[in-house]
Amino acid sequence: MNKRRILFVCLGNICRSPMAEYVLRHQAAERGLSHLVETASAGTSGWHDGEGMHRGTRDELKAHGIAADGFSSRKIRREDPAHYDLIIAMDDDNLAELERQFGRRPGKQFKLTDLIPDSGYQAVPDPWYTGNFVETREIISACCRELLDRISDHSL
């Protein structure tokens, strides 16, 4: 199977989307599935271009043994839909901005929480506002496990 190129997207690309990028990469490595995924992340705003991830994100990843090195924030790019197989948003606003810029792409662009519809979460809460990086990581981890399951069984 070809490697699935996945771009996670949030507003500023310093909290949720880099967390998802590194969590999925880590989960794939733990399961011996690194050959199936290539991960990256971006923001819809570009407010933090060139910056590292938020300290809370970095600390939460490290607390769970997830390497958080080599990250630099960036804004989504016009060529992203051609390069990535999946572009996964963290909330409705992110998805709406992706659709505004790239058009509707069902099956290619969707919200991360769409993968676990019975979770009670309609979006990944932004810890920039909530301060709860633990909750954000727990939701992202559950969604990434489901994403990896679907990729490995060829249903996505």
Question: Among all residues, which ones are annotated catalytic?
Answer: 10, 16, 126
Per-position DSSP letters for 46-108, written without gaps between them: -TTTT----HHHHHHHHHTT----S----B--TTHHHH-SEEEESSHHHHHHHHHHH---TTT
Q: Give the sign of the dihedral formed by CA 115, CA 144, CA 20, CA 58.
A: positive
Q: Any bridge partners for residue 6, and if so which?
A: 39, 86
User: What are the φ/ψ torsions at residue 91 (nearest 5 degrees)?
Assistant: -155, 175
Q: Sort 63 into a burial class: Cβ within 10 Å, 0-12 / 13-18 / 19+.
A: exposed
Token readout for 91 is: 């909330």
Whether the Cβ atoms of residue 124 and residue 3 lie closer than 8 Å to each other: no
- Please answer whether residues 128 and 12 qualify as being in contact, where contact means their C-beta atoms are separated by less than 8 angstroms: yes
